[in-house]
Homo-oligomer: A and B are copies of this chain.
Amino acid sequence: MTTVLVVDDEPQILRALQINLHAHGYTVVPAPNGTTALAAAQTQAIDVVVLDLGLPDMDGLDVIAGLRGWTEVPIIVLSARHGSHDKVEALDAGADDYVTKPFGLDELLARLRAATRRSGTQTAEPRVETAEFTVDLANKQVFRHGEAVRMTPTEWSVLELLVRNPGRLVSQQQILTEVWGPAYAKETHYLRVYMAQLRRKLENDPANPAHLLTEAGMGYRFAP
């Protein structure tokens, strides 16, 4: 099943795309603005993004840049602007395709197929493994030495964010804003508690973690 993140600020278009894409077998994750779109991309497995450039809260180009900062997921831009300058900007920012409104649903579907066909070969597996534990992103399950490990919602959110950025340093701020919300960006104590719990559940030697690493003053890192 292919999951499409659809970003559009007009509710009726969002709804229409949602219905039509769903009817063609896609799982749709709707987002009415850039902020929720970026948040959704971090926490869910997205196969392709359909992005309307005209958003209320931030520039569409910044959404592209935000996504391209850490993921190669195909991005198809929708826009009412026909100017070549706009197309060039979006494509150079990292978009894969640019479709001008009005567009036929057939065409969008074909471009979706083209985009997923390309990335499909290099399939990002929804499963991350280490020597000690396995994280099944799709099913939200964690195994350690073959045995299922129970996670609380918060534990899972933190773990998922780290595992979705393997090898990448994730700042405390980023974890806190993604998991608890922007108002909690300073509550670093939460993180210490939950990192300790995750390590106790997943690491062989919680005091000397092999995969859930802390970089003092910088953030945390998941080492596969």
Contact A84 B97 (CB under 8 A): no
Contact A153 B217 (CB under 8 A): yes
Q: Collect the chain B residues with CB atoms within 8 Å of residue A98's CB.
A: 111
Q: Collect the chain B residues with CB atoms within 8 Å of residue A176's CB.
A: none
Q: Give, as a whole number of angstroms, the nearest-CB distance from A67 to chain B.
A: 13
In the assembled complex, A13 has its CB within 8 A of some CB on chain B = no
Q: Known contacts being A118-B96, A168-B139, A169-B140, is A88 close to B70, with CB within 8 Å?
A: no
Interface hits, A128-154 → B, CB 8 Å: 138-141, 150-153
Interface string of A153-191 (1 = CB under 8 A from B): 100100000000001110000000000000000000000
Q: How many A residues face the partner with a CB closer than 8 A?
A: 44
In the assembled complex, A216 has its CB within 8 A of some CB on chain B = yes
Contact B92 A110 (CB under 8 A): yes
Q: Collect the chain B residues with CB atoms within 8 Å of residue A141's CB.
A: 167, 169
Bound together, the chains give a CA A80 to CA B166 distance in angstroms of: 39
In the assembled complex, A55 has its CB within 8 A of some CB on chain B = no
Interface hits, A100-122 → B, CB 8 Å: 103-104, 106-107, 109-111, 113-114, 117-118, 121-122
Bound together, the chains give a CA A151 to CA B218 distance in angstroms of: 9
Partner of A88, one of B94, B110, B139: B110
In the assembled complex, A72 has its CB within 8 A of some CB on chain B = yes
Interface hits, A74-108 → B, CB 8 Å: 84-85, 87-88, 91-92, 94-98, 103-104, 106-107
Task: List 20 other contacts, CB 8 Å, given A96-B118, A98-B111.
Answer: A70-B138, A72-B121, A87-B110, A88-B106, A88-B109, A91-B107, A91-B114, A92-B110, A92-B113, A92-B114, A95-B114, A97-B114, A138-B168, A139-B168, A139-B221, A141-B167, A150-B215, A151-B218, A152-B216, A152-B217
